[in-house]
Amino acid sequence: MAAIWHGGKAPLEEMNASHDRTMMGAIGIELTEFGDDWVRGKMPVDKRTHQPFGLLHGGASVALAETLASVGAFSTVDPETHAAVGMEINANHVRPVREGWVYGEARIESRGRTTQVWTIRITNEKGKLVCLSRCTMAIVRTGTLKD
């Protein structure tokens, strides 16, 4: 398969630095790797991402999933003219995690002109499935992003 990225793969250091003042930075999400049609990242399981029982919060898993899908989708479009924004996300939380790291991999399933669908698998440090998510991204012209 040919790479799907617009203008080649973005530098991970630059992309991670742009997240410093966002939720991704606040909860410790890091982008780690790009392939031809996938993007990977990781997130710590600690007090920033726990729910009250000391387990990984499902919302934190969803934040990791949507981050990876968003980065992937945005990286396929011309940033001068288009952006990618989340339209819908679902997640099945299948295994609890108390500490350490979780690792996500987002793969594109469908790449249309106005929408993309991504599947995101989140695993624990042993490679066991923690969360399976699907995210639909809207591809919009940059001038249409208004509140």
Which tokens sit at 77?
A: 């479009």
Identified catalytic residue from 33, 66, 80, 125: 66
* Phi-psi group of 8: left, alpha or beta (phi > 0 → left; psi -120 to 50 → alpha; rest → beta): left
C-alpha span between 143 and 61 (Å, rounded):
30
C-alpha span between 118 and 116 (Å, rounded):
7
13 part of the active site: no
Q: Which residues are catalytic?
A: 66
